Amino acid sequence: EEAAVRLIQASNTYYVIGLNEFGCADTARIMVEAEPCCEAVMPNAFSPNGDGLNDQFGPVTNGTPQDYTFHIINRWGEKIFVRYNINDRWKGLYQDGRPAETGTYYYMVTGTCYDGTPMKLKGDVTLVR
């Protein structure tokens, strides 16, 4: 059976137990090395129109930074979206649930990688309806 796990440290040890059809058990230890989490990219546009394609916006990474923050700001400097979990994506809504207008918004992503390297991304994204 497969399981997806986010790796937080550079070296990770997992213990597995297997059972055969007779109930006999065996164990194994698996070492998994993590990729650096500071390698992230940001799309430059998205379309939150409910079609299932590019409906959400956020960093694309395999890593899990610590002290993570993701901000979206409109052209007037108003905070539209703030999250602290790498899996949370902006769906093109204000914090009160109203749809944000078509246009350019600004993002800033900060965090710390497992090796202590700071993660900082900033730029703009175009919201298209």
67: closest CA among 116, 19, 25?
116
pLDDT digits (tens, 9 = 90+) for 38-58: 678 899 999 999 898 999 999
Q: Can you tell me whether residue 54 is helix, strand or coil? A: coil
d(CA 86, CA 96): 21
Over the chain, what is the mean pLDDT? 88
pLDDT-derived band at 7, boundaries 50, 70, 90: low
pLDDT digits (tens, 9 = 90+) for 101-123: 999 999 999 999 877 889 999 99
18 Cβ partners below 8 Å, 6+ apart? 25, 26, 27, 28
pLDDT digits (tens, 9 = 90+) for 81-106: 999 999 999 999 998 999 999 999 99
Cβ distance 86 to 80 under 8 Å? Answer: no
Residue with more model confidence, 35 or 71: 71
User: So what's the pLDDT on residue 110?
Assistant: 95
d(CA 89, CA 84): 10
d(CA 19, CA 86): 35
